[in-house]
Amino acid sequence: MTSTAPQRNEPSRAFDRSEARRARNAGRAMRETVFRIVGLVATILGLVALTALIVDLVISGYPRLTWDFLTNFPSRRASQAGILSAWVGSLLIILVTTSVAVPVGVAAGIYLEEYAPRNRLTDIIEINVSNLAGVPSIIYGLLALGLFVYGLGTGRSIFTAGLTLALLILPIIIVATREAIRSVPSSLREAAVGLGATDWQVTRDHILPAAMPGVLTGVIIGTSRALGETAPLITIGALTFIAFLPTPPIQSTPPFVNMHWLWEGYTVLPIQAFNWISRPGSDFLANAAAASIVLLVITLGLNGVAIWLRARLRRKLKW
Amino acid sequence: MASKLTPEQRRRQRQRESLIKAGLFAAAASSVLVTLGIVGVLLYESAEFFRHVSLQLFLTDTVWTPLFDQPRYGILPLLCGTLLSTVVALAVAAPLGLTAAVYLSEFASPRVRETIKPALEMLSGVPTVVYGFFALLFVTPLLQKTILPSLPGFNILSAGIVIGIMILPYIASLSEDAMRAVPQALRDGSLAIGATKYETAVKVVLPAAFSGIAAAFVLAISRAVGETMVVAIAAGQQPNLTIDPREPAATITAYIVQVALGDLPHGSIGYQSIFAAGLVLFLMTLTFNILAFWLRRRYREAY
Amino acid sequence: MTMTMHGTFKASNGAAAADGGRIFAQLTAPKIVASGVNVFYGEKQALRDVSVEIPNQIVTAFIGPSGCGKSTFLRCINRMNDTIESCRVTGELKIDGRDIYARDVDPVELRSRVGMVFQKPNPFPKSIYDNIAYGPRIHGLSTNRAELDAIVEKSLVKAGLWGEVKERLGDSATGLSGGQQQRLCIARAIAVDPEIILMDEPCSALDPIATARIEELIEELRRTYCIVIVTHSFAQAARVSQQTAFFHLGDLIEVGPTEQVFSAPREAKTQDYITGRFG
């Protein structure tokens, strides 16, 4: 026995070798083992559901994934319907969205991290961004409906749709930019300041380039989110049966470029899928499944790229 | 003089810097403008709405039929649908998510964690339309074939379950982050007195990470409340004041979409009703978001 | 209480004796003059009433135990403390007779005259060339590529790095060894043609061989520049400097020729620190 034992023939409590204690410890050990199993199952359950989702989609929609499907317009006949107008619409809208959200979002992120003083106004802006990130997407649709479509008269156009989604993903870009800037080590900043660089020179020449991969990750995630959004676009009146493409921006007469397409009607991939799901009858269901597969490939693909980028970043920047 | 820039050049440089700073500030302040825009639009149209509909009736009537000839504007059925779907979603996501979070944070090896966390985050990258599809055409038939043969084709239960799967990453990932932020010293102290890993996780780490986990929950709830397409597709669009999730019901969000799909003339009461409903929704999520913001600040300060 | 230098002073190391034991302070006005400088971080006072004169073309060392304020005072000289929001500086700090904390002084301009080398080498994640060229570019020191090339070469030569990198100026600076990176940072500071070079424990992250090379470099550089070096090693201060200032808990305890401070310090605290009683 140890020297701390009070008496030789009376074992101290810490070394109680009784049955009761052994049973208790066995119970505790078993609880832990049970939890390890339960925990693993719980963790994987979500992924199991995702797999079931993908498998189900593929089974229903795979037969419809043909080249025709990708290049046809929607049609009243299920077998001839395609997603051409839908993915072109998605593409054009994303163009508008990123053109607005990325400059504004990155600029806002730079301001909040590099320039903003610690005062009331900055707090208000921060709470604002945090709140906007959690506002349901349909509210952005209502905002756009009241303010843009009717208030400013921009109508049910690609421009309105792009602008609405830009406002939606703005918080994502701002947060991603801030985190990317925050992860740049302060020694880099000190070196630049010590050489006599102005605030903007420090940001433009050193901080931003270092933060670029993180910002890019945020842009990709934001784009993926915007591509999958349905509710706000329905609210501002996306048309669900579009059998034409917007006017091409390149033309053969001067001035050779036009922006008519910005003001025209549109549909997007998720709305097309939604439209087909809502139709009674199983023929369109296959189409819906196929459109969903395309959408899923794009969004999961983008998300995967972003996650991979972020993992590579974290490994590289072991400051 | 080391620098060869003339005072004139320096002055112009300072001017440029001020301009740049102002531009950056404008970009940051635009977020405030967006919020003001949202509040403005919602209040403006709701004000119009409440000129025709009594606020009291709005909040207490139990039927929502704004598009009928004898319209009734009680928001309770919509609120009920929203709450019901959220409760079902939480019933799925909370136990699964928390268990997963504890497992990932305290038990899983780094390699397992590195593979599973990103995979979980992929769950939140699935477009909601696809989730709706899943709920309508996979979950409902599955339930009908196994445990609930009398389940109607449109019901809140399937929608709620799928929303639960959708918010799983919020709860699991954010809670796991909160738990990982707990200093190792606390765990060491517990293990040193002979507690098992499981006991340490549940009795020491979880309570310590409470604010972060609470924030995760609140954010997940906010997300579930704002979900639109899953319910619009799978829960039917009939407002229904019920606490039985096996029935079809409509949420606030599903109602707005339904109206938007139709063709309501600008300025009509039906048009304004979606803004009134939207205002209620906005106030709910605003409360949740501010709560989560405050909770997150608290847990960041604790370390 | 102002501390001034009296009489001539023989340089404390053999190499410098070759330049004839410079006579300074009474023949030329001191480069940097601090009078009653206090520094506060919020409510906490980090430096109390510091007054000291720092002559040109010698190395002045700031020594003292951790947290004594020596780095804080160093960072006042190029106003790096401006970047810390809660920091407040009072008193007078003059360079060439002009108070650098006056309202009309542009810190950006100041930092082109007062260069800094940091404790851990911090080259930009750019090429070696671009690291050196950055300062001259933003301060308009060259009008064409040829001039810039000349500046880069001259700086690298002065920093004793040219031979090792002249074939690979386009390589990333982060691929250099620790000692090379620090010499790069010195070259980068020199490229802007400053008058004063501040060094904040420049060798503490380096091995002894790299440290020795940097110390040689410092001895070379002090013929052209006013050098102030913070060091936690008083052995280094003894090797490298001609004037030493001893700080303790925010006060400047003693300032004097290095030889005198180390062999016959006037203050008891200095004696205690040097003999290793604390710190």
Cross-chain residue pair B3–C192, CB shorter than 8 Å: yes
Q: What is the mean pLDDT of residues B266-273?
A: 86
Instruction: Report the percentage of chain B scoring pLDDT > 90.
Output: 47
Instruction: Report the percentage of chain B scoring pLDDT > 70.
Output: 98
Confidence at residue B302, expressed as pLDDT on a 0 to 100 scale = 58
d(CA A152, CA A142): 14
Helix (H, G, I), strand (E, B) or coil at A23: helix
Cross-chain residue pair A277–B233, CB shorter than 8 Å: yes
Indicate the Cα dihedral angle B9, B11, B17, B23, nearest 10°. Answer: -110
Peptide bond just before A255 cis, omega within 30 deg: yes
- Is residue C16 pLDDT above 60, yes or no? no
Cross-chain residue pair C109–B9, CB shorter than 8 Å: no
Burial class (CB in 10 A: 0-12, 13-18, 19+), C163: exposed
**A43-102 residues touching B, CB cutoff 8 A:** 43-47, 49-50, 52-53, 56-57, 60
Q: How many CB pairs under 8 A join B and C?
A: 27
Would an 8 Å CB–CB cutoff place A186 in contact with chain C? Answer: no
d(CA A204, CA B20): 11
As separate numbers, helices (DSSP H) first and strands (DSSP E) second, chain C gives 11, 10
Q: What is the mean pLDDT of residues C41-57?
A: 93
Give the closest-approach CA distance of A84 to chain B in angstroms. Answer: 18
Cross-chain residue pair A197–C138, CB shorter than 8 Å: yes
Nearest to C34 by CA among C83, C85, C69: C69
Confidence at residue C19, expressed as pLDDT on a 0 to 100 scale = 40
Higher pLDDT, A73 or B300: A73
Strands C226-230 and C59-63: parallel
Token output for B4: 């060869």
Beta bridge partners of C37: C50
Token output for C237: 């201060």
d(CA C119, CA C126): 20
pLDDT in tens, B49-99: 999 888 888 888 888 888 788 888 888 899 999 999 999 999 999 999 999
Q: What is the mean pLDDT of residues C255-259?
A: 93
- Is residue C3 pLDDT above 60, yes or no? no
Please tell me the pTM assigned to this model: 0.87
pLDDT in tens, C120-142: 999 999 999 999 999 999 999 98
Confidence at residue A85, expressed as pLDDT on a 0 to 100 scale = 85
Tell me the chain C residues in contact with residue A201 when contact means C-beta distances shorter than 8 Å.
Answer: 138
What ipTM does the predicted assembly reach?
Answer: 0.90
d(CA B97, CA B165): 9
Would an 8 Å CB–CB cutoff place A196 in contact with chain C? Answer: yes
Q: What is the mean pLDDT of residues C67-82?
A: 93
Confidence at residue A16, expressed as pLDDT on a 0 to 100 scale = 65
Cα A85 → chain centroid: 23
Give the closest-approach CA distance of C83 to chain B in angstroms. Answer: 17
Residue B103 is nearest to which of A42, A150, A170, comparing CB atoms?
A: A42
Beta bridge partners of C197: C115, C227
Cross-chain residue pair C118–A190, CB shorter than 8 Å: yes
Tell me the C-alpha to C-alpha distance, in Å, between residue B115 and each of A44, A213, B91, B94, B145.
11, 21, 26, 22, 34
Positive or negative torsion for Cα C256, C258, C259, C261: positive
- Is residue C22 pLDDT above 50, yes or no? no
d(CA C243, CA C25): 11
Helix (H, G, I), strand (E, B) or coil at C61: strand
Residue C53 CB partners (closer than 8 Å, separation 6+): C2, C3, C4, C5, C25, C30, C32, C33, C34
Cross-chain residue pair B9–C141, CB shorter than 8 Å: no
3-state secondary structure string across A245-306? CCCCCECCCCCCECCHHHHCCCCCHHHHHHHHHCCCCCHHHHHHHHHHHHHHHHHHHHHHHH
Would an 8 Å CB–CB cutoff place A16 in contact with chain B? Answer: no
Give the closest-approach CA distance of C195 to chain B in angstroms. Answer: 8
Instruction: Give pLDDT < 70 ranges for chain A.
Output: 1-16, 238-243, 254, 256, 316-319
- Is residue C5 pLDDT above 50, yes or no? no
Tell me the chain C residues in contact with residue B3 when contact means C-beta distances shorter than 8 Å.
Answer: 109, 112-113, 139-141, 192
d(CA C269, CA C277): 9
Q: Find the angle CA(C51)-CA(C54)-CA(C55) to the nearest 5 degrees.
A: 150
- Is residue C268 pLDDT above 70, yes or no? yes
Work out the number of other CB atoms within 10 angstroms of the CB of residue B60. Answer: 11
Token output for B235: 């829960």
Cross-chain residue pair B127–A139, CB shorter than 8 Å: no
d(CA A296, CA B301): 39
Confidence at residue B1, expressed as pLDDT on a 0 to 100 scale = 46
Considering only A240-249, C11-20, C266-275, which range has the smallest mean pLDDT?
C11-20
Confidence at residue B163, expressed as pLDDT on a 0 to 100 scale = 95
Confidence at residue A13, expressed as pLDDT on a 0 to 100 scale = 61
d(CA A129, CA B258): 29
Cross-chain residue pair B28–A111, CB shorter than 8 Å: yes
Mutate to test the interface with B, among A40, A55, A139 (most CBs of B within 10 A): A139
Q: Look over chain C and give the mean of its residue pLDDT values, rounded to a whole number.
A: 87
Helix (H, G, I), strand (E, B) or coil at A297: helix
Considering only A6-20, B1-15, C58-72, which range has the smallest mean pLDDT?
A6-20
- Is residue B268 pLDDT above 90, yes or no? no
Would an 8 Å CB–CB cutoff place B112 in contact with chain C? Answer: no
Cβ contact A303:A224 at 8 Å: yes
Considering only B110-124, B131-145, C104-118, which range has the smallest mean pLDDT?
B110-124
